[in-house]
Amino acid sequence: MPSKPATPETANAPDTSAPGGIDHPPAEFPARKAYPVEEARGLLGGISRKSIYDLINAGELRSVLIAGRRLIPADAIDELIRSAGQQPPRAA
């Protein structure tokens, strides 16, 4: 069966079908409402896992436990970044 001709809208569009014609989601996903600790680390510049838990335990970073998984709400990450510019550096 011949393929459909490309239209101006689809000429440069990425192929979103997997082998066998099964569609898969695009490479970019919309922002999430919460992130696992490992992904939150990346969003915070690659800080250590220990640093994340130190921030949680100190009450500086909110987290939630859902089905046994520790998640960091996206707005908590934003709040931490905002507040970091307003506080003196923490002692080591």
Q: Is residue 45 part of a domain?
A: yes
List pLDDT tens digits, range 14-60.
554 445 555 555 566 677 899 999 999 999 999 999 999 999 999 99
Distance CA 50, CA 88 (A): 20
The structure tokens 């999430």 sit at: 32
Number of domains in the chain: 1
Q: Is residue 65 part of a domain?
A: yes
At 86 the pLDDT is 79
pTM passes above 0.75? no
Q: Is residue 59 part of a domain?
A: yes
Identity at 61, one-letter amino acid code: L
Q: Is residue 16 part of a domain?
A: no
Distance CA 88, CA 51 (A): 17
Q: Is residue 68 part of a domain?
A: yes
Q: Domain range spanning residue 43?
A: 34-84
At 18 the pLDDT is 47
At 32 the pLDDT is 86
Sequence-distant (≥ 6) Cβ neighbours of residue 41 within 8 angstroms: 47, 48, 49, 52
Q: Can you say how many angstroms the Cα of residue 86 is from the centroid of all Cα atoms in its chain?
A: 24
Q: Is residue 38 part of a domain?
A: yes
